[in-house]
């Protein structure tokens, strides 16, 4: 049976600028062929067992020839795959989609095009530059720098009063400026270069045609060049943010990095997410199924993470187990995030220690339960043994079932100028070292709790434990530390 190919625009930034339709298709595809310009965080929507194929397509560095990409899409679809062709920006704005569609049509492969937010509009907009303005520019032209050559073309561009937007042109910014001047455009015409648009590292350089090449010499790719009266505009909202311009990285599981990263970004930080701790599900085997079948025999269930909550309830659903079997069983959670996950499933935990650690949860349970009680601990296979040890020492039977494990896998680059690196677990600290990341020389290390801070001190020689021990606490701690450094 022939599959189908979806040509999806990835937009010009992170997952927040992807369309809902694009996200839906990524979550259900069996294979994805992605461009280098597509933000790698978007690939987190793709199922773990789906094929992920990098096909390059960054300006000046096409790792896979276009004909080979087209052939790959046809072969995948004819083998029955549901394929997402993930393209940077919008598929029809210099995306060479027409060549891929021609190959699909010739092979009789069904396809669908899903628009994306094009960088030609969005990146200038995020820099406060409108591509049109009623008084000075009633239209705009989008030009790829690869074709912006030759005096006739420059004369044509120079004669327009519209805004000119050049894509993929950083290496040719000087040629473009001089070509427009020779074509008759005033050397004083405003120009701007926006590098690494729609990312935490976005930088805008304003100038005019006669000096923009010099001013932009330290800009980095990818970059967009805007020429015209609107290039002098800066319509960004002037909002005070507590972490404006501060560079911070968050390290841990995807759920931790995305949540903490969002909170930091809301405070104005330039955030790099490193979800290098990957969750590997463990079935729990017959032990979990047996425990679920006799839940009423336990005095308490202890959850040490959100992941354990989700996997436990997934298995409950698969076994069609009745939640009423938990009547009379105390529910304990190690922290606010775990407690929130339980509440999402309709359970309000009876016990959440003030200090979000396994040891603190063990102390609370030992105080609440009589000797001889049975406690089921649902945990990470490499988690702290302190909870079970504390219960055992109090004469309580602790039964542990590992629902998941973790593995280290590099995912993203850490900027050298990062001022803060936040860790969500000791597993994140270990994964950071295991995957070869190097802590920036002057970066402050912020950890979600004292256990993680201890692991970080052993690894890096320094660390600060956040108070409270939550994602919000990490943000508050970074704000305090940044103020001490005088931002």
Is residue 353 in some structural domain?
yes
Residues 99 and 74 in one domain: yes
Mean pLDDT taken over the chain: 91
pTM of the model: 0.74
pLDDT of residue 18: 95
**End position of a domain, from candidates 117, 145, 169:** 117
- 10 Å Cβ neighbour count for 371? 9
pLDDT of residue 487: 43
Range among 75-79, 131-135, 384-388, 466-470 rated most confident: 75-79
Residue in the block written with tokens 């190690």: 334
Catalytic residues: 35, 57, 168
Domain with 127 in it: what CATH number?
A: 3.30.950.10
Helix, strand or coil for residue 236? Answer: coil
CA distance 226 to 212: 10
**End position of a domain, from candidates 371, 406, 441:** 406
Is residue 16 in some structural domain?
yes
Residues 113 and 125 in one domain: no
pLDDT of residue 62: 52
Burial 303-331 (b: 16+ CB within 10 A, else e): bbbbbbbbbbbebbeeeebeeebbeebbb
What tens digit of pLDDT does each residue of 133-173 get? 988 999 999 998 766 555 568 889 999 999 999 998 899 99
Supply the range of the domain harboring residue 288. 281-406
Residues 176 and 262 in one domain: no
Residues 184 and 98 in one domain: no
What tens digit of pLDDT does each residue of 35-94 get? 987 888 898 899 878 999 999 755 555 568 999 999 999 999 999 999 999 999 999 998
Is residue 200 in some structural domain?
yes
Is residue 390 predicted with pLDDT exceeding 60? yes
Residues 414 and 302 in one domain: no
Query: What percent of the chain is predicted at pLDDT more than 70?
Result: 96
CA distance 365 to 380: 19
**End position of a domain, from candidates 232, 264, 289:** 232
Q: Which residue has the higher pLDDT, 388 or 412?
A: 388
Total domains in the chain come to: 4
Is residue 460 predicted with pLDDT exceeding 90? yes
Residues 136 and 285 in one domain: no
Is residue 242 in some structural domain?
no
Residues 175 and 102 in one domain: no
């Amino acid at each position: 049976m022939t599959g189908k190919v979806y040509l999806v625009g990835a937009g010009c930034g992170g997952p927040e600028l992807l369309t809902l339709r694009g996200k839906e298709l990524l979550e259900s595809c069996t294979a994805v062929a992605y461009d280098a310009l597509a933000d790698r965080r978007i690939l987190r929507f793709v199922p773990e067992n789906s094929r992920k194929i990098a096909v390059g397509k960054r300006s000046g560095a096409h790792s896979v020839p276009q004909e080979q990409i087209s052939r790959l899409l046809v072969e995948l679809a004819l083998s029955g795959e549901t394929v997402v062709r993930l393209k940077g920006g919008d598929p029809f704005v210099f995306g060479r989609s027409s060549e891929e569609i021609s190959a699909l049509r010739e092979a009789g492969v069904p396809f669908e095009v899903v628009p994306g937010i094009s960088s030609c509009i969005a990146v200038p907009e995020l820099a406060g530059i409108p591509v049109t303005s009623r008084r000075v520019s009633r239209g705009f032209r989008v030009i790829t720098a690869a074709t912006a050559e030759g005096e006739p073309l420059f004369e044509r561009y120079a004669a327009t009063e519209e805004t000119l937007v050049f894509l993929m042109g950083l290496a040719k910014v000087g040629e473009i400026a001089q070509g427009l001047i020779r074509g008759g455009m005033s050397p004083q015409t405003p120009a701007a270069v926006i590098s690494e648009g729609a990312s935490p590292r976005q930088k805008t350089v304003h100038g005019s045609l006669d000096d923009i090449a010099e001013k932009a010499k330290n800009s980095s790719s990818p970059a967009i060049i805007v020429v015209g009266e609107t290039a002098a505009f800066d319509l960004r909202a002037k909002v005070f943010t507590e972490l404006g311009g501060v560079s911070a990285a968050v390290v841990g599981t995807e759920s931790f990095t995305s949540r903490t990263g969002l909170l930091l970004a809301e405070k104005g930080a330039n955030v790099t997410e490193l979800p290098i701790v990957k969750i590997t599900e463990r079935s729990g085997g017959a032990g979990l199924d047996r425990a679920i079948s006799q839940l009423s025999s336990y005095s308490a269930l202890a959850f040490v993470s959100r992941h354990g909550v989700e996997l436990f309830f997934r298995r409950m659903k698969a076994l069609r187990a009745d939640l009423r079997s938990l009547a009379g069983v105390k529910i304990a959670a190690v922290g606010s995030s775990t407690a929130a996950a339980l509440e999402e499933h309709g359970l309000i935990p009876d016990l959440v220690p003030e200090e979000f650690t396994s040891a603190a949860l063990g102390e609370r349970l030992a105080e609440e339960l009589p000797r001889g009680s049975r406690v089921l601990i649902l945990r990470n296979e490499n988690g702290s043994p302190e909870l079970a040890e504390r219960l055992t020492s109090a004469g309580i039977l602790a039964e542990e079932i590992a629902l998941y494990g973790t593995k280290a896998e590099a995912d993203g680059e850490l900027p050298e100028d990062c001022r803060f690196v936040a860790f969500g677990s000791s597993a994140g600290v270990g994964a950071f070292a295991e995957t070869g990341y190097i802590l920036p020389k002057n970066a402050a290390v912020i950890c979600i709790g004292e256990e993680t801070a201890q692991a970080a001190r052993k690894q890096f020689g320094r660390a600060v434990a956040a108070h409270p021990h939550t994602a919000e606490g990490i943000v508050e701690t970074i704000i305090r530390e940044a103020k001490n450094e005088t931002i």
